[in-house]
Structures are given as C-alpha cells and as structure tokens.
Amino acid sequence: MNRFIIAVVAGVMTAGVAQAGVTEDDLNNDQANTSQVVTNGMGRHLQRYSPLDTLNKDNVQNLFPVWAFSLGGEKQRGQETQPLIYDGVMYITGSYSRVYAIDLKTGEEIWQYDARLPEGILPCCDVVNRGGAIYGDNFYFGTLDARIVALDLKTGDVKWRKKIADYKAGYSYTAAPLIVDGLVITGNSGGEFGIVGEVQARNAETGELVWTRPVIEGHMGTLNGEESTMTGELNATWPGDMWKTGGGATWLGGSYDHDTDTLVFGTGNPAPWNSHLRNAGTPTEGNAGDNLYAASRIGIDPASGEIKWHFQTTPREGWDYDGVNEVVAYTDRDGNKRFATADRNGFFYVLNREDGKFVSATPFVKDITWASGIDDTGRPIFIEDNRPGNPADAADGKKGSVVFSSPGFLGGKNWMPMAFSQNTGNFYVPSNEWGMDIWNEPITYKKGAAYLGSGFTIKPNYEDHIGSLKAIDPDTGELKWEFKNEAPLWGGVMTTAGGLVFTGTPEGKFIAFDDETGEQLWSFQTGSGIVGQPVTWEMDGEQYVSIISGWGGAVPLWGGEVAKKVNYLNQGGTVWTFKLPKQLAAAN
C-alpha cells in the first residue's frame, strides 16, 4: 500500500479530526505522490520530473484545455510562478506580490491576497514572483518589499508577516521559499544595489528567525538570536571595506538534498559589476581577488546555517554572471550522487553531492568569449583580453575599454529552471545565444541607488534564433538535440515518464517535445508569452497539465537590441489547465 493510500485511509479512520496538512514527509516524497505538487521544482531536489505516464508520446495530441483563469486587473507584468496543487486547490502567485487560490475542477477563484506594497520598492528585473510554499495549513510567499508572509490555506488570511531586509536599501524578494524540517528558508534579491546576499531560516509556525547566513565573507551569521560564525575570512578575497556592500544576492532560492541533509543556494554577482574596484589580486595569486562567496554555489547545514562547502563558478566575476541558477540533485547512470547546474557563464557543471567537489564542466552555449575552458579544479581559464577594461587606465578615467562578451549579462541560462528526466538520464536546459558590448565606469556606493559601474548593450549572436532548448547528457556534456526559437526562452521546463518535455515560448506557444528526439508533438497558443513553470498531476484518474502565460521578466526591460525584437509581444496573465480524458488516453 503506497503512502498516499495510507494517508487517505487514516483520514477516514479518524473522521472528525483535523488533517495535519502538508508534512515533512509530503515534501520529501512530493515527486512520488502524483495527486499533488507541494514543492517548487516538483520535489525539493528541483528535478521537475513527473513519474506520470498516462499522457505520453502516442496520445499527447489529445491534450486539450479544460479551464483558464485570468489574474485580472491591470497588473499584467511577467508571470513566472509555478502552480502548487493540494487538496483540490491550485495556488499561484502573480506579479506585484499577489496570491490566488483556484478550484482545481472548475477554475473558479476561492480567494485572493494582494500585498500592500509601499512606494519606492526597487525591483531590479520586473515585478515578478516565482511561486510559494506549503507546509501544515499555511501558504508562504515573499513580496517585493522584502517580506515573507504566511497565509491560511483555506481563507488567505494573514497568519504572520516578517521583514527579510530593508527595501529602501534595494532589497526585494521574488523566489519561492523552501521548507525543510519546519523551517521556512529564504534568500534575498537586490544584487544591483550593493546589498549583501543572505539565507535566512524561520520557524514555520511563528515566523521567528532561527538562523541567518550572509554569503559574503566578513559578515557574521546568527543562530537563535546570537552571533554564530563569520562567513569566510575577513579581507581574504575582498579589498578594504568593499565586502560590506559586496552583493551576492541569493535571489533564486535554493534546493534541498535529503540524502546529504544539505541546503544548496546559489549566489549572485559581486557588487559593483566593475571588477577592477574589488580585485585584490590577479588570477595567478591564488584566490586573493576571487570575492568569495559571490557567483558561487554553497552547501548549508539546514539546522544551524553553517556553510558545509562552496564552489565558485566565476571568481572575481565581472560580467554579471550570477551563480544563482538552480542546483539539481540526481543520480547518474553509474549510480553516483551528483549535483548539476547550468551557469549563467555558459558552462554546465556537475558536482559531487557529498561535498560539492568539482566533477566536470562543459559549454552549453556556442560562443563563450570570457574563458577558454575550465581547468581540472573547476576554475575558469580566463581570457584576459576579454575582461572589460579598467576605467583608471583610460585617459579621462571615465570609461574603460569596451569588449564584446558572450554570453551576455542575462546569461547562457538565467533563472528559468531546467529539468532532469529519469526516463533518459538527460537534462533539458532552456538557454539563450546572445552577447554584449560591456565596459566599466567609476562608481561609489549610495544606499538605495544602482551600484553597477558598468554599461552594456546586449545583442543576439545569430540571426535565426536566440532561444535554444537543449537536451544535454550530464555524463558527457554531449548535446543530444536542440530546439531553436527566434525570441529568448525565459520559461521553465518539465519532463515526464511518458517521454515528454514541456516548455513555453515568449511567442505564446506551450509545447510538448519527444524527450529522445526533440520532435514537437503538440502545441497550444496561450495568447501571451510564457515565462512561467509547468506542472502536471492526476485527478480522478486523469492526467492534467498547467502553465501560466504572461509576458514580461527581465528581457523587455534590459534586453537592448533583443528587447526591440520582442516589443510586439502582448502582456497577459492567465493560467491554462489541460487534461487528457480517460476515453482518449489509449487513443493514438
């Protein structure tokens, strides 16, 4: 008897006793329980793989829409949420820090929560929200004014609301929280404002802080209200006082590896972008100028907040190659426990799950100009001529030499989550082929003001496409197939045991691919660009798939020449839900 059936039987036997709601066991086994989706990533390992195979390559053409839910109003900016499915209800977040509870069978609204945002919020890259978390009878999500809110699942009433950081200093929050052992784990956003990246853990019932872990060296962590340990070693890799405004925002949230009991968070760009201002050494002098732990992946003890290990993908980073991209726990074909991450810098990394040690790295975009490769230790082999120049070397001291860098600062892959298939053993990576002209400028820190010290113009590398969905063998780095898209890809990917890969395009198409060949098997025009994250589940013996449609995000705001290519795309805000009816499940 499986775990879900046991839970149902127990509920019948204890009629009249309130259900405990979502438990740690539910979170840990989310991938296996196909009747619900209670974690961001369809499992805290972020594989985004469903064992459902009712919907498959032979019958996916019979998938059709059953309801659509409009987010309504005029708040139709980028919609990047992943739906959560629990107890007959879908929970989604929307732009401008909104939450909706929707009846799964009818698509009708049950309740809505709209955060009262103050004037003067400073979101870097659109007013998006990437989803929430469920634990017990609460729904948790973050807001653009850098708060974490707990809502009652049934009513949407506020249980508690806590401040993560000061929005007036440039902090915000857009990621889905992570729940581990009764703790709500959050990161922070705001790397373009000279903030300090941090991971925080709170008691899920009360919202009270349990521990904090800054990710820039020199800052002190806390545990149970007391100072704990310093992150790194003061001034080991940062000059002077620059660590105090060192960036490293943990803006995409984290994953959890149950096997090693480790939180894994990525950290963003060091601040400012102008690397010459914070370079205390050269690449030949050990790690003196690396600016730890920015542009890194960090393993954290969930009970104490202590750092277990770190791996820095881009030392002394100077191109805005954030290291925040998701880290996915998986087991390779030889039975090795691995982490995989596709970095903004254009390389696909495999790490050992036990200690975060480097295993391999291969390029997953075609044109990488800033490094010639990755050495045996995992450190990039820099191409010094393709580092943006030092303004101090310019005759007027105002603008360093301009270089063309690829990928562009929006990355070979940005926030949009990749997926792993247990069916093929491959990863499916949404990527973009673009570059940029970039130069450095003088800059000084001012609270609440942009802290870049760089200028840039992003450009497509190819005439026929920017977006590229790639099937990658993590054991070899081999590209198995590629789907090219004219506009940049900015939405999430999902795989299923039915041999399907789902993702969407800014042009509005929601597409199902053959996981082995890349053949397009089905598509549906949603009416607006897709930058959200698909999910699938089963209800009453039928398989359902949902995606949110609503164009926006960073591309139209920061995309330069690329933005001009997609300025015709319509905004929106609609959740589309599809199903495969029982009578058509066997049809092909």
Compute how many other C-beta atoms are within 10 angstroms of the C-beta atom of residue 335. 6
Q: Can you tell me the distance from the alpha carbon of 358 to that of 364, in angstroms, rounded to the nearest whole number?
A: 17
Reply yes or no on whether 53 is catalytic: no
Beta-bridge mates of residue 149: 141, 161
Q: Which tokens in the block code for residue 69?
A: 């839910």
What Rg value do the Cα atoms of the chain yield, rounded?
23
Beta-bridge mates of residue 209: 202
Beta carbons of 265 and 250 less than 8 angstroms apart: yes
Place of tokens 């590398």: 461
Within 8 A by CB and 6+ apart from 253, the residues are 40, 130, 175, 176, 177, 178, 186, 187, 265
Q: Can you tell me the distance from the alpha carbon of 158 to that of 143, in angstroms, rounded to the nearest whole number?
A: 13
User: Distances in Å between the alpha carbon of 575 and those of 10, 56, 215?
Assistant: 33, 22, 36
Beta carbons of 262 and 308 less than 8 angstroms apart: yes
SS3 content of the chain, % helix, strand, coil (to 5): 10, 35, 55
Q: Can you tell me the distance from the alpha carbon of 255 to that of 501, in angstroms, rounded to the nearest whole number?
A: 21
Within 8 A by CB and 6+ apart from 308, the residues are 262, 299, 300, 301, 355, 356
DSSP state of 12: H
Query: What are the backbone dihedrals phi and psi of residue 498, each rounded to the nearest 5 degrees, phi first?
Result: -75, 5
Beta carbons of 550 and 95 less than 8 angstroms apart: yes
Max CA distance (Å), the chain:
81
Q: Can you tell me the distance from the alpha carbon of 519 to that of 384, in angstroms, rounded to the nearest whole number?
A: 41
DSSP state of 3: H
Q: Can you tell me the distance from the alpha carbon of 56 to that of 586, in angstroms, rounded to the nearest whole number?
A: 10
Residue type for position 445? Y
Beta-bridge mates of residue 547: 576
Catalytic pick among 257, 320, 322, 343: 320
Q: Can you tell me the distance from the alpha carbon of 306 to that of 231, in angstroms, rounded to the nearest whole number?
A: 9
DSSP 259-300: TTTEEEEE---BSSS-GGGG--S-TTSTTTTS-TTTTEEEEE
Q: Can you tell me the distance from the alpha carbon of 489 to that of 131, in angstroms, rounded to the nearest whole number?
A: 19
Residue type for position 307? I
Beta carbons of 75 and 68 less than 8 angstroms apart: no
Q: Which tokens in the block code for residue 90?
A: 């879908």
Q: Can you tell me the distance from the alpha carbon of 436 to that of 363, in angstroms, rounded to the nearest whole number?
A: 18
Residue type for position 410? L
Q: Can you tell me the distance from the alpha carbon of 486 to that of 402, in angstroms, rounded to the nearest whole number?
A: 27
Q: Which tokens in the block code for residue 343?
A: 């970095």
Q: Which residues are catalytic?
A: 320
